[in-house]
Amino acid sequence: MMEQAIPRKMTRERILEAAKTLKKYKAGKARLEARLVADEQWWKGHAWDTMQEQGNPNAAKRSAKWLVNVIMGKHSDMMDAYPEPVILPREEGDEEEARRLTSILPVVLEQNRFEEVYSKQAWEKNKHGTAVYAVYWDSGKLNGLGDVTVCGVDLANLFWEPGIEDIQQSRNVFLVSVLDRETLVQRYPQLKDAGLQADFTLPQYRSEDVSGKADKAMVVDWYYHTYEGGTKLLQYCKFVGDTVLYASEDDPALQGRGWYADGEYPFVLDVLFPQKESPAGWGYIDLGKDTQEEIDLLSQAITINARAGAIPRYFRRRDSAINLEQFLDFTCPVIEVEGGLSDTDMVPVQHYPLDGIYVQHLNNKIEELKQTCGNHDVSNGITSGVTAASGIAAQMEAAGRTSRDGNRGTYRAYSRILEKVIERIRQFYGVPRTFRILGENAAYEFVRYDNSGLVLQPNAPLAGLDMGWRKPVFDIQVGAQKQNAYSKMAQNELALQLLGAGVFNPELSEQSAMLLSMMDFNRKDELLRNLRQQSFARRMLAMWQHMALELARRYEPDTAERMAMAVMSAAGEVIAGTPPKEMPDLAVQSGPADTKPMQRAREFARGVSQPE
């Protein structure tokens, strides 16, 4: 008896319903799509194409690049503050796993060329206000072993439910890609006779390249949620037209599990200036383009007036006897005239130069754009006569508030990206793989890593009772991997000041620790840790020296005297100086009478190892 085939959950009717939902989402995003296209025109220097007021129609329409300069500066600030993660455990038993993740996660991102992705999305964030990242699991990587993929997504190709502010709140999320038809049919032979036409189009940027869409097809990645036993599961479906290419609900291996175990959409949005009822924000072009329009219009008018004054013009009577060709030839010293010449034959056109207030108004608009967008002169290297590194750093610190605020938003998005990377590793790293990491003393190490430290771990039994299982969870701290030159100079100056104040003197370690605990600067915790380790090592060394001297005094008095003098010499003590404070002897019996140098050495060792 033949087994009856299990009916598929993803039917053609569901695909058609999903396509209707996609069209509704696209309609709700129409204004955003129009803004993206217009902003891209601004970025490419075609601002006049989108301006309502066109100025003098007969004059050149050139756009000043003040707004472009703003975006270039903000992008540089983001690259200077390229993020670097530190993974922290929430439970003591996960400390080792956290250290391993701190070393491995940057390698995973590096293998995805994340710095290039980050740079491209930094342009998108500053231009359009939103950068979109996606964290996938690519089963085809590493010859079928699979690995994490972190990439950028065009905001114009992503669709969500209108009216929500967090994309994770959307009932559905669609990502639409344009792929070559022939390549698509080769990969999915079932599409050979299928209809690949879509009843919607993606926003078209005005590119310099002419691209034909006739041989392209719209591929839709549809993400949505289902509920089984009260658990929310993420489902995934890929379709073209009304043809299903893949559906996780019909995959036997994913029954009751969903597409990704964390149950979240794989997208992270990094927003510059947030908006109400939208997960997308707006960027510096939207913030400054009105002022940039006024700058362009005013600059055009001033340029026309200046050119009119620089090129003299004349009224010439039609029956004038002046030879016009010779008059216009400035190399001809003699101009022929037939008959008499009157004052009305050639009359100069009077020019009225603009008052300086108009130029000042233009400069004020430029300054307004700088102030509004936080693109201060000091950010571009103009320091108003300040030459000291600390003064320059102070000016840049004050001028970079907007950039730091935007970078903090990027760090929050970066943390969410790493959380998704950890979840992909937790779900799919069942087979160990090798990573090259930077170990101690800047030496390369090769380590093997799998998800054994991330899967559910048994809790320690309590009073003989089984306490069940726990899921290792981590906190992510993000800081700047790179710093600009002025920040480094300021930090170097601080280090020199601390050195001059004796903070690095081992004898002042306790006072130095109290001083540093009240301060706030980069890598303070590392300095405190080193000071405490140095103080502990010094105490231990003094204790062992004291014990060695006691044993040598008892059994080898001559050797003990030489050892005492060597200890005092290494410590920089003067033998004839005042002896340190008295301290109790160690539990070692006294031997023969000590010499004075040996007594001073013993007293010095006691004072260092066991101060009152």
* Residue-wise pLDDT tens digits, 326-353: 777 778 888 777 777 777 777 777 778 8
Question: CA 518, 524, 529, 534 torsion: positive or negative?
Answer: negative
Per-residue pLDDT of 563-578, as tens digits, reads 777 766 655 543 333 3
User: Stretch 430-434: mean pLDDT, rounded?
Assistant: 91
As a whole number of Å, the end-to-end CA separation of the chain is 93
Q: How confident is the model at residue 378 (pLDDT cuts 50, 70, 90)?
A: low
Tell me what percent of the residues of the chain surpass a pLDDT of 70.
83
Count of C-beta atoms within a 10 Å radius of residue 453: 17
Tell me the DSSP string of 140-172: TTGGGT-EEEEEEE-GGGEEE-TT-SSGGG-SE
Q: How confident is the model at residue 162 (pLDDT cuts 50, 70, 90)?
A: very high
Per-residue pLDDT of 512-543, as tens digits, reads 777 777 776 666 777 777 777 777 777 777 78
Element (H, E) at 579: none
State the pLDDT at residue 498.
79
Most confident of 238-242, 381-385, 564-568, 569-573: 238-242
Domain ranges of the chain: 16-129+283-312+364-484, 541-609
CA atoms within 13 A of residue 594's CA, in its CB half-sphere = 22
For residues 127 and 133, is the Cβ–Cβ distance under 8 A?
no
Q: CA-CA distances (angstroms) from residue 296 to 7, 42, 148, 282, 313?
A: 64, 12, 47, 22, 26
CA distance 297 to 293: 6
Instruction: Look at residue 587 and tell me whether its pLDDT is greater than 50.
Output: no
CA distance 362 to 356: 10
Question: Whose CA is closest to 79, among 398, 403, 394?
Answer: 403
151 token code pair: 């990439």
Residue 366 has phi, psi (to 5 degrees) of: -65, -45
CA distance 256 to 235: 10
Cβ neighbours of residue 170 closer than 8 Å, sequence gap 6 or more: 160, 161, 164, 265
Q: Which residue has the tokens 């104040």?
A: 501
Per-residue pLDDT of 308-331, as tens digits, reads 888 788 777 777 778 778 777 778
Q: Spell out where 199-356 has E strands.
A: 216-228, 231-240, 243-247, 267-271, 273-275, 278-282, 314-316, 346-348
CA distance 201 to 343: 67
Tell me the DSSP string of 195-245: ----S--------SS----TTEEEEEEEEEEEEETTEEEEEEEEEETTEEE
Amino acid, single-letter form, for residue 362: L
CA distance 179 to 409: 33
CA distance 541 to 570: 12
Q: How confident is the model at residue 395 (pLDDT cuts 50, 70, 90)?
A: low
Cβ neighbours of residue 411 closer than 8 Å, sequence gap 6 or more: 83, 478, 479
Amino acid, single-letter form, for residue 426: R
Orientation of helix 401-428 relative to helix 66-80, angle to 10° = 50
State the pLDDT at residue 402.
82
User: Stretch 467-495: mean pLDDT, rounded?
Assistant: 75
Residue 598 has phi, psi (to 5 degrees) of: -70, -40
CA distance 272 to 125: 6
Orientation of helix 114-128 relative to helix 401-428, angle to 10° = 130
Q: In what order do the strands lie in the sheet with 267-271?
A: 147-153, 130-138, 267-271
Cβ neighbours of residue 327 closer than 8 Å, sequence gap 6 or more: 335, 346
User: Stretch 59-88: mean pLDDT, rounded?
Assistant: 89
For residues 175 and 153, is the Cβ–Cβ distance under 8 A?
yes
- The four Cα atoms 135, 137, 142, 144 give a dihedral, to 10 degrees, of -160
Count of C-beta atoms within a 10 Å radius of residue 159: 25
Q: Which SS3 state, helix, strand or coil, does residue 123 take? A: helix
Tell me what percent of the residues of the chain surpass a pLDDT of 90.
37
CA atoms within 13 A of residue 364's CA, in its CB half-sphere = 6
CA distance 81 to 444: 25
Count of C-beta atoms within a 10 Å radius of residue 166: 9
Burial class of 204 by CB neighbour count within 10 A (0 to 12, 13 to 18, 19+): exposed
State the pLDDT at residue 214.
62
For residues 113 and 122, is the Cβ–Cβ distance under 8 A?
no
Which residue did the predictor score with more confidence, 123 or 437?
123
pLDDT, averaged across the chain = 81
CA distance 127 to 472: 38
Cβ neighbours of residue 276 closer than 8 Å, sequence gap 6 or more: 165
State the pLDDT at residue 483.
56
Instruction: Look at residue 486 and tell me whether its pLDDT is greater than 60.
Output: no
State the pLDDT at residue 266.
97
Q: How confident is the model at residue 605 (pLDDT cuts 50, 70, 90)?
A: very low
Q: Which SS3 state, helix, strand or coil, does residue 180 take? A: strand
Q: How confident is the model at residue 403 (pLDDT cuts 50, 70, 90)?
A: confident
Count of C-beta atoms within a 10 Å radius of residue 388: 12
24 token code pair: 């509704």
CA distance 184 to 118: 29
Burial class of 227 by CB neighbour count within 10 A (0 to 12, 13 to 18, 19+): exposed
403 token code pair: 């950039």
Q: How confident is the model at residue 490 (pLDDT cuts 50, 70, 90)?
A: low
